[in-house]
Amino acid sequence: MVKKFKISDFHKRIISKKTLFKALTYIDKNPDLETPILLIDREKLIQNVKSMGNLIPNSRVFYAVKANSDIELLKILKNMGVGFEIASSGELDLLKKLKVPPDKIITSNPVKSPDFIQSLYKYGVKYFVFDSISEIEKLEKWAPGCFGYVRITVPNEGSEWPLSKKFGVELDMAFNLIKRANELKIISPVGVTFHVGSQCLNPYNWYIAIDKAKRLFDMCFDAGIKMKILNIGGGYPISYTKIAPNIREIEEKISSYLAEKFNDHIEIFIEPGRAIVGDAGIMVSKIIGTAKRDHENWIYLDVGIFNGLMEAIGGIKYLYIFEQTNPLKEKHNKESFFDRYKKWTIAGPSCDSMDVIEKNVYIDADPKSGQLVLIPSAGAYTLSYASEFNGFPIPKIEIL
């Protein structure tokens, strides 16, 4: 039996029609599909990789492995010649398994364990970030001869998943750290990095960040230290429930800011995670039950906060496409919004009260236990966050 879903014109603007079609075809061919499962559209993934960095002259792309570290997915990226940004020995082990050469690996985690630094160094990785004296001392000891870049703080306003509070330093401190590294002559300070916040819907963040980085470049230049690399981190957004600027639109902005601020020749590193895999993935989930509690309508899915949709607690709002098992009701023009749409709370399967994905979701459908629900743009920060809490499985992944 071919399954039908309530797909609206708006859905088709959020998600690529080809990606959706591929997932629907797969679902039809697999009537006994075990859910939850993350379906990845290989072509969309490849298309994202190909667009990344295109409009930024002299740039290199390092995929942030934490967004989705599935080994088959990493293999596809490796074969396309993409570099990787990693933060742990576990991520390094994955890349070693794939024989990713060390010059394709950087680490932008400002606080690294000595073990991690040593394994990177032994493998031949050259680029390391720092934002503290303590980190410089570790690099001096365990990664002599490495190239270092300093992480500065930049505004994360308007990013739906801010990252600014944990890492980074202000310009004076950053300058002191670079001078310190330079004096040691064991670490060559070569650049500056920042992160504008993940799912950054405010391009002005890049403007402020690039301007701030340029001031640090100038301070260093005046002190006789020539910086060569600007690592602009990640943050490129994807469309969840709002239409976000695409890679080209973001890069048009970034490249104009770069051209305005930097007239000299520098190399740009980009570390995208979300915008490489996010919109290539559709989570297929199943309704395991519905309930009415007081005046609230509840839907329980087999995927929730703990086994895949962790970002929902930080404010990422997903789109839900419901299977339609009843014949589609005719639309009556006179019907009001509130006749057609009912308000639902969408929850995950576990017994923890934190496991509520979203409240006040208006749904024009009649959700029933056993129906499938598609959750588009779920390729990034889902599986990599997932746990088997309460015995609920981590979604499988299938690259189509």
Ligand X SMILES: *Cc1c(COP(=O)(O)O)cnc(C)c1O
Pairing state between β 83-86 and 342-347? unpaired
What's the closest the beta carbon of residue 279 comes to ligand X, in angstroms?
A: 12
What's the closest the beta carbon of residue 269 comes to ligand X, in angstroms?
A: 9
Please identify, using beta-carbon distances, which residue of 150 and 275 lies nearer to ligand X.
Answer: 275
What's the closest the beta carbon of residue 192 comes to ligand X, in angstroms?
A: 13
Peptide linkage before 237 cis (omega within 30 of 0): no
Closest-by-Cβ residue to ligand X is 234
What's the closest the beta carbon of residue 273 comes to ligand X, in angstroms?
A: 3
**Distance between CA atoms of residues 19 and 45, nearest Å:** 10
Block residue for tokens 């006179």: 334
Burial class of residue 317, CB neighbours in 10 A (0-12, 13-18, 19+): middle
Cα 400 to Cα 43, 101, 280, 311, 389: the distances in Å are 8, 27, 10, 24, 28
Cα 139 to Cα 135, 175, 212, 220: the distances in Å are 6, 17, 25, 20
**Distance between CA atoms of residues 99 and 77, nearest Å:** 13
Please identify, using beta-carbon distances, which residue of 19 and 108 lies nearer to ligand X.
Answer: 108
Please identify, using beta-carbon distances, which residue of 162 and 349 lies nearer to ligand X.
Answer: 162
Please identify, using beta-carbon distances, which residue of 66 and 112 lies nearer to ligand X.
Answer: 66
What's the closest the beta carbon of residue 377 comes to ligand X, in angstroms?
A: 12
Sign of CA dihedral 230, 231, 233, 237: positive
Please identify, using beta-carbon distances, which residue of 14 and 86 lies nearer to ligand X.
Answer: 86
Write out the two tokens for 175. 């300058």
What's the closest the beta carbon of residue 366 comes to ligand X, in angstroms?
A: 36
Please identify, using beta-carbon distances, which residue of 203 and 233 lies nearer to ligand X.
Answer: 233
What's the closest the beta carbon of residue 231 comes to ligand X, in angstroms?
A: 8
Please identify, using beta-carbon distances, which residue of 85 and 251 lies nearer to ligand X.
Answer: 85
Block residue for tokens 């895999």: 277
Please identify, using beta-carbon distances, which residue of 109 and 350 lies nearer to ligand X.
Answer: 109
Residues that bind ligand X (CB under 6 A): 64, 66-67, 85, 108, 195, 198, 233-236, 271-275
Secondary-structure percent of the chain, ordered helix, strand, coil, rounded to 5: 35, 25, 40
What's the closest the beta carbon of residue 135 comes to ligand X, in angstroms?
A: 14
Determine the Cα angle at 97 with ends 58 and 127, to 5°: 35
